[in-house]
Amino acid sequence: MSKRKKKRSLTAATLVKAQAREVVGTPPPSRPLPDRRADAGRKAEKHRKSLRELAEE
């Protein structure tokens, strides 16, 4: 026999958030900003420039 799911208890945080959404509205969807410090090490060149490319510069 499967167990019944436990009912979630009512918390003050859910009530406050619901009231805020009614007054202000839902927040716009957004993407998190990438961490620039983490990307600094990864953007190094993967291959050396060839002699032809160095001569063109």
DSSP string, 1-57: -PPPPPPPPP-HHHHHHHHHHHHH-PPPP-PPPP-HHHHHTTTS-SSPPPHHHHHH-
What would the pLDDT profile of 14-50 be if each residue is shown by its tens digit? 999 999 999 998 888 888 887 777 666 666 667 888 8
CA atoms within 13 A on the CB side of 28: 2
Which residue type is seen at 24?
V
At 5, phi and psi to the nearest 5?
-75, 140
Instruction: State the pTM of this model.
Output: 0.37
